[in-house]
Amino acid sequence: MKSSTITVDESNAFVTRFDLPPAGSGPLNGLCFAVKDVIDVAGCKTGCGNPTWRDSHPTATAHAVCVEQLLRAGARCVGKTICDELAFSLLGQNYFYGTPLNPKAADRVPGGSSSGSASAVACGLVDFALGTDTGGSTRVPASNCGTWGFRPSHGFISLGGVNPLAPSFDTVGILAQSIDVLVLAARVLLAAGSASVNKPEAIHVIQDAFALADAEVQEALSEPLCRLRGLCGERVTKTSLGDLADDGSNFANWADTFCVIQWAEINSCLGAWIADAKPKFGPDIAGSFELTSQLDRRCVADAWQQREEYFRRLHEVLESNDLLCIPTTPALAPRKGNPPVRTSRSGGYYPRTLALTSLAGIARLPQVSLPIVDEGGIPAGLSLLARHGQDDFLLEVAKTIENNSAAEQVLAASANTF
Amino acid sequence: MKSSTITVDESNAFVTRFDLPPAGSGPLNGLCFAVKDVIDVAGCKTGCGNPTWRDSHPTATAHAVCVEQLLRAGARCVGKTICDELAFSLLGQNYFYGTPLNPKAADRVPGGSSSGSASAVACGLVDFALGTDTGGSTRVPASNCGTWGFRPSHGFISLGGVNPLAPSFDTVGILAQSIDVLVLAARVLLAAGSASVNKPEAIHVIQDAFALADAEVQEALSEPLCRLRGLCGERVTKTSLGDLADDGSNFANWADTFCVIQWAEINSCLGAWIADAKPKFGPDIAGSFELTSQLDRRCVADAWQQREEYFRRLHEVLESNDLLCIPTTPALAPRKGNPPVRTSRSGGYYPRTLALTSLAGIARLPQVSLPIVDEGGIPAGLSLLARHGQDDFLLEVAKTIENNSAAEQVLAASANTF
């Protein structure tokens, strides 16, 4: 555990702590990390944030592949982190384990479902942490807690030893305090080298994504966007999702498609267990799972068709060194106590957030969320996305932007760094 | 169930039979299919070929997403098929449920693990069947039983409701009696349209893959290879895996890398359950699972690194309308009774078969196995593979080749059809 001004107890980020030394030496030497409790660590129960799950499943006999990779590369694992029940929430308030601290905004939720991983990183207790991200579960808490967050291209980080939620969208994500650490850890998990190109050809700023965001988020992101224009000049262009994909679709369409498939797969993965084990859920979560079981599954085929059309369209349009830019979330982290409900209609927190997060999910894109703060110091996230499979490129560009921004915030506006 | 000269009882292909009518109308109208018993059908136990698994898991509450898609497109589901225990064998001899009939070679194994699905198709009891394919479990039984077999690009057919084995390689595969039915079913599951291009730019016949095969298999495949040359002319070229990838690697290297990751992920997915439930396994299968638990997991990180290097190399080299050509399996189906063991060394059945099947697994490639027969009428398979994501193209080309071969076997040699 790193020394921090915030104690482990104050953070409430951990389910359990231990000290698992490195199993090799490499690029992660000297770094420590925590693991979301849906990912196996040998000798521990993988509790998935729900006591009934924990008590009805055996102790893991092996580390997840991703944990092996990090240990082998020199990192030390210091514990497992609290998450939302069965990873199915974007809020980070666990009825049984409590709410991990959002140290940048203590009266607000950390975001979920990788709540404890985001909290542990933001509290300075670890260098980085593993989360998972199906519908935003790494990106949203990264945005809320002011950390870096990374969702890889689907299928490029091993899910061996990670509890499935919705296989078509499940990924292992990473949260980190710095882009340098994020890139180091991501390269190990992706088995990536340095990208040969780190100069974006075009950065498409998707206007209707920004239009979904609250005024305070738009305001917070305007300065970083200006900086991006300063760094990249005319390669930064404004567009809309429908214009980009040239199919007239909008974020609500994408989110609808995402939700049908996600709910169907969640019900496929967990429905039988829920019906059989009759687990005790927190009050909000029970309703969420109820929704997945009420889905008319005959819709799934049409949704899958639509998903692949969206995927193909964007895959054809995007060049290998293009980027997309959107807000990570449409709102600052909700305040604790009266959380937004999943069933609220289009203007609500969930529909707007899923609208933004479904872009990477549907199109299998990698996404990095950069930590930004608003005028009052409350975190927000600005996201860059790249073409499916272009994870190395995306990470390199994010690193270049951050390092140039940090070093030359003033000069950059005229220097056109790339 | 289709009418066939072979009865359902004679086939021993099914765990259970039922009649699940279509849930819509579409391209699969009038076709019936069976489902490997690792894929959920609502109201059935998903037994995974092992009684302890069946008895310790609840009844499925929903169809797997892939089953929904087929029913919605007009197909009728007529039952669930026998498979090897937990899908971890390439032979198709189940200690508890018996060996499904290989109607083309009754003294030989059907191949596994999608043994019952291949048998049901080959016996003419269904138009097509769903299998899964992690390390060859659709392609090998397709080859052994003389049916068409398709493994999709990893990540492009939903795994929601399919029991995980090794998530980095798991796919849903399809077996069919005709290429036309195979393409219809695959298009539904992939949500693909017709490919815009169906003319291959280059067909790389990988010589060291053919060199792995027994003389009788090489002989059986020589005539179809000639036909391919007749159809495609100079675009058919000879190469080796090492030359193609330009890294000097060979099939044994690829298989070693594949096995480390596969075993690690199998142990991650099933190890805890096996340690806890202490299932009764057939004598051969127990040893296979024992192997996965004895793996030194510190090797996994290096294997993952190697895998991604192989993947990237081939992904860079292959154009979107290139094809690779290899034998599906290196040997005719083994005779029943004295099955080959997994631990045998490099010349054995398992190492040679995994050498061939690991090409698609490591490089995330789609693969179609075409049914061929040797002089004695024993089936063998010739495989075509395409770049990751080029499933539509691969299927269209396979269809064109088959239809042209059938219609113009004689003329084609000079006509250069494409």
Cα B320 to Cα A46: distance, rounded to the nearest angstrom: 41
Complex ipTM over 0.90: yes
pLDDT at A408: 55
| Candidate from A65, A168, A191 with C-beta closest to B158 | A168
User: Across the interface, do B160 and A192 touch by the CB < 8 Å criterion?
Assistant: no
| Residue A281, C-beta contacts closer than 8 angstroms, at least 6 positions apart | A50, A85, A95, A289
Angle between helices A65-72 and A179-190 (to 10 degrees): 120
User: Across the interface, do B269 and A64 touch by the CB < 8 Å criterion?
Assistant: no
Which of B113, B119, B249, B358 is catalytic? The answer is B113
- Residue A297 DSSP symbol: G
For chain B, counts of helices (H) and of strands (E): 15, 11
**Contact indicator for A356, A125 with CB cutoff of 8 Å:** no
pLDDT at B375: 87
pLDDT at B412: 43
Q: Which of A61, A268, A290 to mutate to test the interface with B (most CBs of B within 10 A)?
A: A268
Cα B317 to Cα B141: distance, rounded to the nearest angstrom: 30
**Residue B353 corresponds to which tokens in the numbers above?**
């078969």
| Candidate from B155, B268, B309 with C-beta closest to A160 | B268
User: Across the interface, do A62 and B297 touch by the CB < 8 Å criterion?
Assistant: yes
Region A293-313 average pLDDT: 96
DSSP states along B311-360:
HHHHHHH--TTEEEEEES-SSSPPBSSSPPPTT--TTSHHHHHHHHHHHH
CA distances B136 to A128, B90, B174, Å, are 37, 7, 12
CA distances A330 to A10, B144, B274, Å, are 28, 54, 45
**Contact indicator for A269, A166 with CB cutoff of 8 Å:** yes
Distance from CA of B50 to the nearest CA of A (A): 18
**Residue B53 corresponds to which tokens in the numbers above?**
């698994």
| Candidate from B61, B164, B308 with C-beta closest to A191 | B308
- What percentage of residues in chain A have a pLDDT greater than 70? 96
Cα B101 to Cα A100: distance, rounded to the nearest angstrom: 57
Q: Which of B181, B179, B214, B185 is nearest to B328 (CA)?
A: B214
Cα B70 to Cα B46: distance, rounded to the nearest angstrom: 18
User: Across the interface, do A190 and B308 touch by the CB < 8 Å criterion?
Assistant: yes
Say what the pTM is.
0.96
| Confidence category of residue A404, pLDDT binned at 50, 70, 90 | confident
- To the query of whether residue B36 is one of the catalytic residues in this protein, the response is yes
Q: Which of A12, A114, A18 is nearest to A60 (CA)?
A: A18
Residue of A nearest to B310 (CA): A191
| Confidence category of residue A215, pLDDT binned at 50, 70, 90 | very high
Specify the amino acid at residue A339: P
pLDDT at B408: 55
pLDDT at B85: 98
Which residues on chain A are in Cβ contact (under 8 Å) with B45? Answer: none
User: Across the interface, do B158 and A307 touch by the CB < 8 Å criterion?
Assistant: no
User: Across the interface, do B264 and A308 touch by the CB < 8 Å criterion?
Assistant: no
> What would the pLDDT profile of A162-214 be if each residue is shown by its tens digit?
999 999 999 999 999 999 999 999 999 999 877 777 789 999 999 999 999 99
| Residue B244, C-beta contacts closer than 8 angstroms, at least 6 positions apart | B204, B206, B314, B317, B324
The overall longest dimension of chain A from CA atoms, in Å, is 63
Cα B169 to Cα B358: distance, rounded to the nearest angstrom: 9
pLDDT at B252: 96
DSSP states along A143-160:
HHHT-EEEEPPTTSS--T
Count, residues in chain A? 418
Count, residues in chain B? 418
pLDDT at B414: 45
Specify the amino acid at residue B61: T
**Contact indicator for B398, B341 with CB cutoff of 8 Å:** no
| Candidate from A23, A158, A300 with C-beta closest to B65 | A300
Cα B253 to Cα B346: distance, rounded to the nearest angstrom: 11
Please give the domain boundaries of chain A with CATH numbers for all domains.
Answer: 8-190 (3.90.1300.10), 202-415 (3.90.1300.10)
* Distance from chain centroid for Cα B172: 9
Cα A125 to Cα A136: distance, rounded to the nearest angstrom: 23
- Residue A291 DSSP symbol: H
Q: Are strands A172-176 and A202-206 parallel, antiparallel or unpaired?
A: unpaired
User: Across the interface, do B300 and A62 touch by the CB < 8 Å criterion?
Assistant: no
pLDDT at A410 over 50: no
pLDDT at A190: 98
Question: In a 3-state reduction of DSSP, which class is residue A418?
Answer: coil
Which residues on chain A are in Cβ contact (under 8 Å) with B160? Answer: 166-168, 261, 264-265, 268-269
Q: Which residues of chain B have pLDDT under 50?
A: 410-415
Specify the amino acid at residue A77: C
Angle between helices A391-407 and A215-232 (to 10 degrees): 90
pLDDT at A409: 53
**What are the DSSP E strand ranges found in A189-300?**
202-206, 236-239
Q: Which of A184, A193, A196 is nearest to A148 (CA)?
A: A184
Only one residue has tokens 């089953």, namely B67
Which of B117, B137, B143, B288 is catalytic? The answer is B137
Nearest 5°: the CA angle A397, A403, A405 is 100
Average pLDDT value over all residues in chain A:
94
Q: Catalytic residue positions of A?
A: 36, 113, 137
- Residue A175 DSSP symbol: E
- Residue A367 DSSP symbol: E
The overall longest dimension of chain B from CA atoms, in Å, is 63
Q: What is the CA radius of gyration of chain B?
A: 20
Cα B189 to Cα B65: distance, rounded to the nearest angstrom: 9
**Residue A45 corresponds to which tokens in the numbers above?**
């129960």
